[in-house]
Homo-oligomer: A and B are copies of this chain.
Amino acid sequence: MDSRAIAELVLHLGRIASGEGLVEGLTAVQWAVLRYFARANRFSRTPSAFAAFHGTTRGTASQTIKNLETQGYLTRMRSEADRRSVRLVLTDKATAILVNDLFEALVRAADALPSGVRGHFANALQRMLGQVAWERGKPPFGTCASCKHLEGDGCSREGQAPYACGFAREPLLLEELDGVCINFVPGKPMTVKRSVAGAAPR
């Protein structure tokens, strides 16, 4: 199978699937914002992190977020540790429309894949994402499960959390492990080969 055809397929599928926006009067980008802040862990719920995730500029991200804020989908809280920074949290209104769910077509399509294929498929996607992001000098945005910064063995000893993040130097709650993180660095199970030159971050 032609690699170029695969690349075209990825772009095409992503484009067709993200063109759902219409429901609830939100655009595709606005849906992406809501999904991001629903999935991002506490280190990553900032405008800058979303800009990096979405592959856009901080300025554009700021506009879209402000728009959603005035529509009552997001609330902002200044960070206490760093008073330049801002934390964004979904409102009940946002979580309500997220559960009745959007982009369901793509989820159903993924669900319809044979169960034996799904794992390999996700691995291939994550791998391609890692390589593309690396070539552009952008963070690949993964979860703790395969992150190099994850520390701990899952056994909770006294006075110590079962897991911790070696980058943020903070303990991690169990339910935080599934959140998407801007500090993700591909670690253990995946060995991404990066053999190509020409990585020019814009």
Which residues on A are within 8 Å of B, measured CB to CB? 1-20, 22, 32, 35, 39, 53-56, 103-113, 117-122, 124-129, 131-133, 135-136, 138, 141, 180, 193, 195-196, 198, 200, 202
Contact = CB atoms under 8 A, between A and B. Distances in A.
Copies of this chain in the oligomer: 2
A111 B15 CA distance: 21
A105 B55 contact: no
Nearest to A18: B11
Contacts of A124: 113, 117, 121
B11 A106 contact: yes
A127 B109 contact: yes
A17 B10 CA distance: 9
Given A108-B135, A124-B117, A32 B16 contact: no
Contacts of A120: 117, 120-121
